[in-house]
Structure formats: C-alpha cells, structure tokens
Amino acid sequence: MDSPDRADFLKNLKSGGRYAGIIGVYRHNISADVIGVFDPEIISALAGTGVKWIAHNGAGYDQINIPACTANGELVFVVTICEHNLCSRYQGVEHTGHR
C-alpha cells in the first residue's frame, strides 16, 4: 500500500483510483497505523471496488469488522503465524465463511 493516510486510501478505492478493481486484500496490523482498522467505512469502500476476500495476518478479529464483511459477502481469512509455538492453538488459517 502506498497511501499515506486513510483519506487517500479511501479516495483511491473509488472508480478511477489506483486501487479500483482489486478483488483481494492482504492486510497486516501495520496498516492500522496508516488507515486504521477495517471498520464499516473501509469495508464498504472495499466492497464498492469489487473486493471479494480479505486476508489478515494476525491473531483474532479485532482489526476487521467481520459483520460488515459478511453483510457485503466478503470472505475473510485470518492467517496466524506464531514463532516458538507460542500460539499453536491459533496457528493456521481461520475463515468466516461466505454466502
């Protein structure tokens, strides 16, 4: 991602923007420092550009509003990779399902 802030990211999801037409997003917690969590505003903008799936690298769902995703029909994957088996219970891929 090369957006310097949330406003630029949202602007570039619109028709004619540099992110228009994307169908999948890989997200890491670091992006929250720039654009914030994937809340209903961002989820709606992603759905408007045609995004069908979001992959999140991290444990848990606190960075992505899952109800907003499923309402838009997006599939969300949470990919957790933990070192030294600290998170073995969560290691692997979880998904929310889809319509």
Query: Taking 90 as the threshold, does the pLDDT of residue 41 lie above it?
Result: yes
Domains held by the chain: number = 1
Domain of residue 33, CATH code: 3.40.50.720
Average pLDDT, the chain: 75
Give a yes or no: residue 1 inside a domain: no
CA distance 49 to 54: 13
Give a yes or no: residue 68 inside a domain: yes
- DSSP letters spanning 6-47: HHHHHHHHSTTSTTTT--EEEEEGGGHHHH-SB-HHHHHHHH
Q: Are 66 and 37 in contact (CB under 8 A)?
A: no
Task: Kindly report whether the global pTM for this prediction surpasses the value 0.85.
Answer: no
Domain limits at 75? 6-14+23-95
Q: Tell me the pLDDT tens digit for each residue of 46-98.
A: 888 888 888 877 766 778 888 887 886 766 666 655 544 444 444 444 444 44
Q: Is 70 exposed, middle or buried (CB count within 10 Å of its CB: 0-12, 13-18, 19+)?
A: middle
